[in-house]
Amino acid sequence: MTYYHNQNKFLQPQYEERLFDHLGFEVADINKTISTLKKENVTVTDEPFKLNAHTTIAFIEDPDGTLIELIERK
């Protein structure tokens, strides 16, 4: 789940008419995980990219279109 440090109440941004934005899961090797998921025809919406010096993230979609964030921390 996402935690917004400076937000006093939950404000849902409008995103493709979704009430729920996304889930996030930490993975050990994001490139290997993405490669495996692609072989299973999972939709990758955002290829892995560096969020900061210690964190790489990517996004995939489940069959219903829910975004799933994959997070690799080093």
Q: Which domains does the chain have, with CATH numbers?
A: 22-73 (3.10.180.10)
Q: What's the mean pLDDT in 30-57?
A: 96
Q: What is the pTM of this model?
A: 0.74
Tell me if residue 58 falls in helix, strand or coil.
strand
pLDDT tens digits, one per residue of 13-38: 555 555 566 789 999 999 999 999 99
Task: Report percent pLDDT > 90 for the chain.
Answer: 59
Comparison of pLDDT for 29 and 64, the residue scoring more: 29
Cβ contacts of residue 38 below 8 Å, gap of 6+?
44
Comparison of pLDDT for 22 and 62, the residue scoring more: 62
Mean pLDDT of the chain, nearest integer: 83
The first and second tokens of residue 31, run together, are: 């490139």
